[in-house]
Amino acid sequence: MSEAQAQMSEDDADLAAAAGGASIRTAVVTTGGDYSSPYPDQVLENVLENVLIFLTSRRDRNAVSLVCKSWYRAEALTRSEIYIGNCYSVSPRRAAERFRRVRSVVLKGKPRFADFSLMPPDWGAHFAPWVIEMAEAYRGLEKLYLKRMNVTDDDLAVMARSFGNFRELVLVCCEGFGTAGLAVVASKCRQLRVFDLIEAEVSDDDEVDWLSCFPESGTCLESLIFDCVEFPINFDALENLVARSRSLKKLRVNRFVNLEQLHRLMILAPQLTDLGTGSFSPQDHPIDQEPDLVSAFTACRSLVSLSGFRETVPDYLPAVYPVCANITSLNFSYANITADELKPVIRNCHKLQIFWVLDSVRDEGLQAVAATCKDLRELRVFPIDATEDNVGPVSDVGLQAISEGCKKLESILYFCQQMTNAAVISMSNNCPDLVVFRLCIIGRYRPDHSTGEPMDEGFGAIVKNCKKLTRLAVSGLLTDKAFSYIGQYGKLVRTLSFAFAGDSDLGLKYVLEGCSKLEKLEIRDCPFGDSALRSGLHHYHNMRFLWMSTCRVTRQGCREIAQQIPRVIVEVFRWNQILEEGEKSDLVDTLYLYRSLEGPRADAPKFVNIL
Amino acid sequence: MESVITHEGLNLKETELRLGLPGSDKPEKETIYSLRNNKRAVPDSVEDRESVSDAKHETAPPPKAQVVGWPPIRSYRKNCFQPKKADSETGNYVKVSMDGAPYLRKVDLKVYKCYAELLEALENMFKLTIGSEFAPTYEDKDGDWMLVGDVPWDMFMSSCKRLRIMKGSEAKGLGHGV
């Protein structure tokens, strides 16, 4: 029995907890009537079920389910949210057979490197088989969170008509659907509270005015996010929708909403806690007087999260001053603003915990952040110009400043052109709470720019000093030494990302042998081969996946892995068959292996070989 | 490992990029290369890999002009901002082919302010007269072949990927849009 149980891997416990919290109110324990024949342990099992309702963490639940058959059954009946980190690790049927009373489903498909064009478009991760199964098994489904799945309009239609009490739809990095699908959801899901499209690719081929499809009389909408939609919307319909959605708390509009229109929306919804401001630039030919944005922002007393700013005209930034003191989350990562334009805003943001910004603000801008935002937990600095260059607007100077000013930092993503070990070491010492450290030196193989040394010591210090670290992404010139540090000290690390790094197979061996909690490993363009691959044989069944592209792994090496570990699917794919002709080498372009309770998937396209 | 590679008197080792432990033949500073954009360039990435597989020792592959998926930023974020270099400094060169001509030419669309100027340049370049026998066409961003002159000049500038001057029977009856 224990072998067959899927150990759902750990990730994003908050989501499960948040969903689980709600499930306490909605979960219903039915006793007696559910069992076809009573048996002696029934009383004990009833008691257990009543206790288990309060268990929300999926890791705890996984542990509970392993105690014995009776506990396994009770846990299965009381789990109301299921989290499937890899849609191919288990079949929809198997999941539905084990967990019968599910209200909330989290489903993730493609691995993260698919976001960077490293995966062919028709690879898979189709939502269709899941929605078809759930339409039968989970009629009471309320919440759906999909990430990197291929979702079609038909899938959305099935979903909309099958779940009468459907409340929350969150699509993150999904594609395959368009306005027609959105329209069906809007019109049929009358209980919808959350409708979030986050970094999704929405097609406009059908040109359906989906915003007009929400119920006429009024909606229960609490959250409406569509800032990733890359085509115009019907603004009148949006305005009307906001006016009749009295519970709306989160609204993130896309860049086709200008400042005048934003003003009109804000007047209608001063109760907002989360606002995505769209383009933040005025319409091309302003007819009326300039809208009083300052008053509009002042009226939003509950605003804690601000984003958008897609085509910011900096002259209008002062309008946000009234809310700065309260906001905990600010996303300026589309705002091409200078340090001088940032400073007057940021110097008021004392409560800021999450800050995303473009490197247009330079090291100077980051210094200003460090000076004010003492409570900062998460920082992301994106590059305005993604081309490799000798110098960039942010560097070790900015990182050093942040490390000195923001000592509570837990998560950082930092793109730059050059870095020093000293700055990274400094961060490792100043920010002991770091859980996520992702440094991307855009220039590949770039050493410490002041000493010329590899970046080994910097990353070594991070894994050594940051005792809570679970996620790490490395870059710059790195030798096998860096990997030996990671293997030696990265005992809690769950997610690792390597690119253009390492000297030999040893590098990967250190990691696979040392990082016992490793779950997700993504590697590209590193000199790791079959010998290194073999060193992880003992561990692959504990991982969600391993991705290796443009490394030195051969087909034969992959085949050996496939043969030696059951319940691990080994996919290899090649991109461009034409170019491969005449090539003698046995190297694979991409290896993607993942554990699974099922056999090889039936929906693999031609370019995927399952060994 | 490698002897100094000389080619016509140039010491290419100076600019060679390789991996190596510090101290042992210290890695040179990287050559400065500017990437235009990160359009997916499959042939380049395969070349990348081939050079890795052929190398018997631990040498870094020479930096390619375009690397797929690097840096790891989602494409719509990359597309949001025009890299300053590409726009102002480098010009907008498109290939021009003419039916029957063995060689292609290239023109910088930025040099011209309107269709008339472009057509005049083409006429000079290929020694022809645009009219009933020759029709200028272009391939746009969607991959469709269009007649030059139908859309406003600015729109043409941003959507034209290549030009083709059609000749003979295909050209007859097309005229041109200008």
Using one digit for the tens of pLDDT, what is the confidence trace for A509-533? 999 999 999 999 999 999 999 999 9
Q: How far does the CA of residue A150 sit from the closest CA of chain B (Å)? A: 17
Confidence of residue B9 (pLDDT cuts 50, 70, 90): very low
Question: Structure tokens of A295?
Answer: 């008053």
Question: A251: Cβ–Cβ under 8 A, 6 or more apart, which residues?
Answer: A223, A224, A225, A242, A265, A269, A272, A274, A275, A276
Query: Does A382 contact B at CB distance below 8 Å?
Result: yes
pLDDT at residue A238, as a whole number? 97
Of A433 and B173, the one with more pLDDT: A433
pLDDT at residue B1, as a whole number? 43
Output helix, strand, coil percentages for chain B, rounded to the nearest 5: 30, 15, 55
Q: What single string gives the DSSP state of each residue in A67-97?
A: S-HHHHHHHHHH--EEEESSTTSS-HHHHHH
ipTM entry: 0.83
Q: Strands, DSSP E only, in A366-482? A: 378-382, 411-416, 436-441, 471-473
Per-residue pLDDT at B35 exceeds 80 = no
Of B66 and A283, the one with more pLDDT: A283
B72-117 pLDDT per residue, tens? 999 888 877 754 444 445 678 888 888 888 888 888 888 888 898 8
pTM for the model stands at 0.76
Residues of B in contact with A115 (CB under 8 A): 72, 74
Cβ separation B71–A442 shorter than 8 A = yes
Query: Does B27 contact A at CB distance below 8 Å?
Result: yes
Mean pLDDT score of chain A, rounded to an integer? 90
Query: Does B28 contact A at CB distance below 8 Å?
Result: no
Query: Does A383 contact B at CB distance below 8 Å?
Result: yes
Query: Does A415 contact B at CB distance below 8 Å?
Result: yes
Low-confidence ranges of chain A (pLDDT < 70): 1-41, 286-288, 575-585
pLDDT at residue B141, as a whole number? 80
Helix (H) or strand (E) holding A356: strand A354-358
Phi, psi of B11 (to 5 degrees): -90, 95
Burial A291-317 (b: 16+ CB within 10 A, else e): bebeebbebbeebbbbbbbbbbebebb
Q: Which amino acid is at A22?
A: A
pLDDT at residue A241, as a whole number? 97
What is the distance, to the nearest Å, from the Cα of residue A369 to the centroid of all Cα atoms in its chain? Answer: 25
Give percent of chain B above pLDDT 70: 53
Q: Which residues pair with residue A83 across a beta bridge?
A: A106
Q: What single string gives the DSSP state of each residue in A140-178?
A: T--EEEEES-B--HHHHHHHHHH-TT--EEEEES-EEEE
Question: A196: Cβ–Cβ under 8 A, 6 or more apart, which residues?
Answer: A169, A170, A171, A172, A223, A224, A225
Cα distance between residue A357 and residue A341, in whole Å: 12
Asked whether the beta carbons of A591 and A547 are under 8 A apart, the reply is: yes
- The CA radius of gyration of chain A, in Å to the nearest whole number, is 25
Per-residue pLDDT at B43 exceeds 60 = no
Question: Structure tokens of A383?
Answer: 């590059």
A60-88 pLDDT per residue, tens? 888 888 888 888 888 888 888 999 999 99
**Strands A274-277 and A250-253, sheet pairing:** parallel
Beta-carbon-side half-sphere exposure of residue A177 (alpha carbons within 13 Å):
30
Confidence of residue B42 (pLDDT cuts 50, 70, 90): very low
